[in-house]
Structure 1
Amino acid sequence: MDPILNSFAEFASTLSYRDLPANAVKAGKERLLDALGCALGAYDCETATLGRSLAGPAARPELAGRLLGSRELAAADAAAFVNSCMIRDLDFNDTYPGGHPSDSLGAHFAVAPQIGASGERLIAATVVAYEIFIRLQMKAQLREKGWDQGFGISVGAAAGLANLMGLSRDVAQHAIAITAVANMPMRASRAGQLSMWKGAATAYAVRNAVFGVQLAAGGMTGPEAPFSGRHGLTDLISGPIELPPFGTAPENFFIPRAKIKFWPVVYNMQALVWAAIELRKQVDVEKIESIDVETYWSAWHESGSEPAKWDPTTRETADHSLPYILAWTLRHGLIDHHAFVPEAYLDPSIRPLMNCVTVRVDDAFEKDFPRVVHMRVTAKDHAGKTYQAYVVNPLGHEDNPVSAAELATKFLRLAEPRLGKNRATAALELWQNIDRAANVKPAFDAAVVS
């Protein structure tokens, strides 16, 4: 017996839209819209383009999946890979400490329009994926042990897909078990100078989850105790864990804690951008002699603990580099896609300002994380005068949520270059009301790139 597997399979096979409280429905709709916008904004990214070139047809029609931004079909696992690459590429999609739950939605987006799923069904499946991912991130502490987020993403994707497809409890259990034992990626994907794989690693895990679900649906059985049994997760990697129970009360749902980004950088740097904007109002950037950043362990470890972050040579490293993000924002007053082209992050003139930056962990900030996010930046000018900016819970945090209008603006900013203003506005309205859709296919048709 594996109580974790049993609880995941039960949740995946029984949760329906009518079980969801209003806060979970609202959060699910917001995160679907946000993920779609991020995907459209990255429609022609390198990882997705490569994935499309390798995406062959499905062996049978029922195994096909939809490529986002297109009417084209491919094998569902390949389509899910491409979709998740697009969602992830800009580093603009939502996050929960340790990973990006919306990475899993590439699978949902591939399958939902093909099976004629309703909007309610898509929302419920999204909630399943998020709730399982977040619980694993909360308790297994895989990142701190050197393992990557793809494990939780793949398990959540498999469970969410089982829910979306209406699979039985037994089939859902086998799908989750197969996916769990086969997808434990290493955190090396996000160390040193980051490569294209940073934006494709979870897409690969999602692809594997889709195939695992298809195998289980076809009759493949999986290990009986992948989480709590011998040589399972708790035995080999995490140690004993107790996950928060599932339920139907508002407090039982953690999906509202998945943070929506306002800036296209790693979430731990959202507060840094706001701090830099505030600091820029106080001091002339050219007069800065030193900058001290106080933060929590995760932000330090991911973005300010290794030499590569002071000399980013890839886009993937630049959008995870604390010194670069801080220096760019101090210079320009904001940060957007212009910061992540080679001529920007390879510019030698920005290196001196980056080299003024030191980063350290504040124990009190670390103790409060992740429920409270702190970032304090103190600059000293050449005359010895100090200036300080202190940010708590930046926009997008669950206690400082992005408004409906702000989310709509973000979606349109990403979608209009692909769809045009009128079609982007029409797509926005459909997805804002996706819970009313008897069939989500027209909402996907509305997001086809010209």
Structure 2
Amino acid sequence: MSKERTMVEQLAEWVHNADWTKLSDEAKEALKGRVLDSIGVAIGALNGEPVKNIRQMTEDLGGESVVTLIGGGKTTPDYAAFFNGAAVRYLDFNDSYLAKEETGHPSDNIAPVLAAAEYADTSGKDFLLALAIAYQIQCRLSDIAPVRKHGFDHTVQGAYGAAAGAARAMGLNNSQIANAIAIAATGYNSLRVTRTGELSNWKGLAYPNTAMGAVHASMLAKYGITGPREVFEGNKGLMDSIAGEFTIDWETEDLERVTDTIIKRFNAEIHSQSSIEGLLELRDRENIKPKDIKEIRLTTFDVAYNIIGGGEEGGKKLIRYKEEADHSLPYMLAAAYLDGQVMPEQYDPDRIVREDIQELLQKVDIRPDDSYSSRFPDEMACRIELETNDGQIFEVEKRDYQGFKTQPASWDVLMEKYNGLTRDIDNTLAGKIADTIKNLENVKVSELTELLGQIKPEEDESYE
């Protein structure tokens, strides 16, 4: 008598049967756009100190030269997923998905799925399909099984998506895919302290670590290792231990969730984007000197307030280093007003500690508003009031920003961001990478990874 299929086995069957022809043209273009955006961000991060440290660790550990590292060299699939994922994540400039009670960065799945695809020597089309699977699973679990309120990180849902995408890219069968997902999902349930209070390098490495585990889980499944069949619904499984009861019919799921993800216009935590855009509009319109500002008052939605505005995840006005700065609305707004932008250079150590920005961020007051909160995640509504020392008040109200799902970023907009992030590598090579991504469904994935291995960032002697 056959056993009834568990939820992870139903999910695995859906993953195995996923079909490229079922993706809309919009989803296919969105997938390529997310790859372009994330590869650009990764290239821009290669000289970041934690990224360089992880490269050194990877080189010291060695490992079979199987999968390409962005910036040159090869290592094992799981080590490559960790390093490349760290590069994608370090700047905190990659895409986001907004569920009502959960926010994640589904492009964190690019590194593990790319590592698995290169390992299996698949086509670009198969890579993109596996990536669509990873996006769909992480986003849908974020919709129906949020974990932040229970003290766990969004990487929890990511473990399911990353393992499913990697296993599909490797060409595993139904049973192996189920085992890969079950192993990764059981083993990687990170605590939300990753992103609360005093922040550390781990903020940008929690998902790469989960991605590495997902690729490792897929390798274990390939070699016959099994995982808990009842990881979702079983005794002390995901529902029982963390998320509570939920249902999902995987057989009816499409592959379109990637089209609901959003791109960051500014190098800042995702919930800050509309407020930064609004403050820059006010700055350009009124031309008020920073020394004349008495206070900047931001009224915003509760998620922004709680995560980056000084709410439930801790105060945001003691800013000493990058990980604190890029998760502090007061810092990011002060940087935007003083520098006219929020890009990687706004997180240089010397910029963070400078007196002008430290003084201005103390003048930023942030409060939540129920009406704005009710409009999230369909909008990122906010209102900014700037009061001058002589009592004048100037204001602007926003509902979204360029790059939000109501104003999707076109390929040209993404290329503008990509070109800025890749300005320190050879222009011809950067162009070839972008062209290959644009045509990715028609080439082998190795054509892309070979180009990524040729990158040599300037101003870094370790690459010479």
TM-score, normalized by length of structure 2? 0.91
CA distance in 2, matches of 1:126, 1:174: 19
Aligned residues: 442
Shift of 1:372: 1.4
Amino acid corresponding to residue 212 of structure 2 in structure 1:
R
CA distance in 2, matches of 1:201, 1:294: 30
Question: Is this contact kept in 1: 2:120–2:171, CA < 8 A?
Answer: no
Higher mean C-alpha deviation, range 270-279 or range 110-119: 110-119
Question: Is this contact kept in 1: 2:262–2:403, CA < 8 A?
Answer: yes
Who is 1:146 aligned against?
Answer: 151
What does 1:83-98 align with in structure 2 at a 5 Å threshold? 83-97=84-98, 98=103
Q: Out of 115, 119, 125, which is 1:114 matched to?
A: 119
Inter-CA distance 363–3: structure 2 relative to 1 (3 Å threshold): farther
Higher mean C-alpha deviation, range 203-212 or range 35-44: 35-44
Who is 2:462 aligned against?
Answer: none
CA distance in 1, matches of 2:244, 2:403: 32
Who is 1:232 aligned against?
Answer: 237
Question: Is this contact kept in 1: 2:116–2:215, CA < 8 A?
Answer: no
CA distance in 1, matches of 2:35, 2:359: 41
Q: State whether structure 2 residue 305 is matched by structure 1 residue 294.
A: no
What does 1:9-48 align with in structure 2 at a 5 Å threshold? 9-48=12-51
Who is 1:388 aligned against?
Answer: 395
Shift of 1:49: 2.2
Inter-CA distance 244–26: structure 2 relative to 1 (3 Å threshold): farther
Shift of 1:444: 1.9
Q: State whether structure 2 residue 349 is matched by structure 1 residue 349.
A: no
Who is 1:436 aligned against?
Answer: 442
Inter-CA distance 248–174: structure 2 relative to 1 (3 Å threshold): closer
Any idea what SS the aligned residue of 1:113 has? helix
Question: Is this contact kept in 2: 1:19–1:248, CA < 8 A?
Answer: no
Residue deviations 1:199-220, cap 9 Å, x none?
1111111111111111111111
Q: Out of 65, 68, 71, which is 1:66 matched to?
A: 68
Amino acid corresponding to residue 325 of structure 2 in structure 1:
A
Amino acid corresponding to residue 318 of structure 2 in structure 1:
D
Question: Is this contact kept in 2: 1:80–1:203, CA < 8 A?
Answer: yes
Amino acid corresponding to residue 303 of structure 2 in structure 1:
S
Inter-CA distance 114–220: structure 2 relative to 1 (3 Å threshold): closer
Who is 1:277 aligned against?
Answer: 280
Higher mean C-alpha deviation, range 349-358 or range 147-156: 349-358
Q: Out of 260, 264, 269, which is 2:267 matched to?
A: 264
- For structure 2, list consecutive stretches of 5 or more residues without a partner in the other structure: 457-464
Amino acid corresponding to residue 199 of structure 1 in structure 2:
G
Q: State whether structure 2 residue 60 is matched by structure 1 residue 53.
A: no
Question: Is this contact kept in 2: 1:47–1:199, CA < 8 A?
Answer: no
Q: Which runs of 4+ in 1 moved over 4 A?
A: 244-249
Amino acid corresponding to residue 423 of structure 1 in structure 2:
L
Q: Out of 386, 408, 411, which is 1:404 matched to?
A: 411
CA distance in 2, matches of 1:180, 1:143: 16
What does 1:248-259 align with in structure 2 at a 5 Å threshold? 253-259=256-262
Question: Is this contact kept in 1: 2:68–2:74, CA < 8 A?
Answer: yes
Question: Is this contact kept in 1: 2:37–2:418, CA < 8 A?
Answer: yes
Amino acid corresponding to residue 366 of structure 2 in structure 1:
V
Shift of 1:253: 1.8
Question: Is this contact kept in 1: 2:11–2:250, CA < 8 A?
Answer: no
Residue deviations 1:37-65, cap 9 Å, x none?
11111123233322222333446x7xx32
CA distance in 2, matches of 1:238, 1:117: 35
Q: State whether structure 2 residue 328 is matched by structure 1 residue 325.
A: no
Q: Out of 377, 384, 387, which is 1:377 matched to?
A: 384
CA distance in 2, matches of 1:35, 1:2: 36
Identity %, equivalent residues:
29
Who is 1:185 aligned against?
Answer: 190
What does 1:240-251 align with in structure 2 at a 5 Å threshold? 240-243=245-248, 245=250, 247=252
Question: Is this contact kept in 2: 1:68–1:110, CA < 8 A?
Answer: no
Amino acid corresponding to residue 14 of structure 1 in structure 2:
N
CA distance in 1, matches of 2:294, 2:156: 43
Who is 2:427 aligned against?
Answer: 421
Residue deviations 1:302-351, cap 9 Å, x none?
11116641121110110111001111111122121221011111113323
Inter-CA distance 300–229: structure 2 relative to 1 (3 Å threshold): same
Amino acid corresponding to residue 67 of structure 1 in structure 2:
L
CA distance in 1, matches of 2:318, 2:395: 25
Amino acid corresponding to residue 348 of structure 1 in structure 2:
E
Residue deviations 1:171-211, cap 9 Å, x none?
00011011111110001111122111111111111111111
Any idea what SS the aligned residue of 1:416 has? coil
Q: Out of 352, 357, 365, which is 1:358 matched to?
A: 365
Q: State whether structure 2 residue 83 is matched by structure 1 residue 82.
A: yes
CA distance in 2, matches of 1:198, 1:352: 26
Residue deviations 1:46-92, cap 9 Å, x none?
33322222333446x7xx3221232x221211111001000001111
CA distance in 2, matches of 1:228, 1:342: 46
Q: State whether structure 2 residue 225 is matched by structure 1 residue 220.
A: yes
Shift of 1:140: 1.3
